[in-house]
Homo-oligomer: A and B are copies of this chain.
Amino acid sequence: MAPRQKKQRTEPKYELLYHPEIPGRGEYIRLAFEATGTPYSDVSNQEKNGYKKFQNLITDANPPVFAPPALLVHGEDYHGKPLVISQTSNILLYLGPKLGLVPEGDKIARYHVNGLAITALDFCSEAHDVHHPIDIEQYYEQQKEEAKKKAKSFTKRRIPKFFGYFETVLSENKEGDGKYLVGKSLTYADTTLWQVLEGIEFAFPKTVAKLSKTYSLLFSNFRENIKEHEGLKEYLTSDRRLPFSIGIFRHYPELDA
């Protein structure tokens, strides 16, 4: 893991380009920075006129950004402009080795970390689609009946399927001691899955309460361990940590078991 650094007053190398005020998919990137004490600017939340700057930067990127989050990297020009990378798992793939969030000296393990992060992000996307099964540009209230139907299959079958999968990953990674998905130290697959579990519990507290005893590695060893990591522990009690609200993960009691 990269040594923890104090936040700098000079311009940081990394700028996170994401919507303001919600954790959303930007949170997966924040967790990677915070877990390793890496200086970064959360442009929309921390800079004056940051939201405007965020919009300009993602509009100006080449290749263009389909949807945020995106990452701007100073000192890494691409075709004469600062490098901008998009797609959540792609940003994490780029940052992983630089921040020490992949197993050291094991290039193959990087593909496992990437694959597991993608699977955790798929779980996140499915949780979003539960409250927006028909049309992402309409309100939840306009698709509430369909959402209730989708919530049934999600809570009964999909949540247990994902929980069971990650429980097996933890139990089969012998050197991880039930605490890490790959290898014996923190990777961005861990921080990403951890955040998805937080979101799933926020959105579906009753379902998680019922299931959490069944998946004991996931809910005792893994989940409790991750949040005790030095950088994360401090971050989670800071005002930089944004609460869930009506973003990707939403708590509608009628959608919970």
Chain A residues within 8 Å of B, Cβ to Cβ? 62-64, 66, 76, 78, 83, 85-87, 89-90, 93-94, 108-109, 111-112, 114-116, 118-119, 122, 129, 133-138, 143, 146, 149-150, 152-153, 157, 165, 168-169, 172-173, 181-182
Contacts and interface: CB of A to CB of B under 8 A. Distances in A.
Contacts of A90: 111, 114-115, 118
Nearest to A170: B63
Nearest to A181: B63
12 contacts: A62-B173, A63-B115, A63-B169, A66-B122, A76-B108, A87-B115, A90-B114, A133-B146, A134-B150, A135-B149, A137-B153, A146-B146
Contacts of A64: 165, 168-169, 172
B115 A86 contact: yes
A234 B181 CA distance: 42
A46 to B, nearest CB: 24
A134 B146 contact: yes
Contact of A135 (B94, B150, B182): B150
Number of copies of this protein chain within its complex: 2
Most buried by B among A64, A136, A152: A64
A153 B129 CA distance: 14
Contacts of A85: 111-112, 115
A143 B134 CA distance: 12
B149 A119 contact: no
A88 to B, nearest CB: 9
Contacts of A109: 78
A69 to B, nearest CB: 11
A106 to B, nearest CB: 9
A152 B146 CA distance: 15
A119 B87 contact: yes
A134 B133 contact: yes
Contacts of A169: 63-64
Nearest to A114: B90
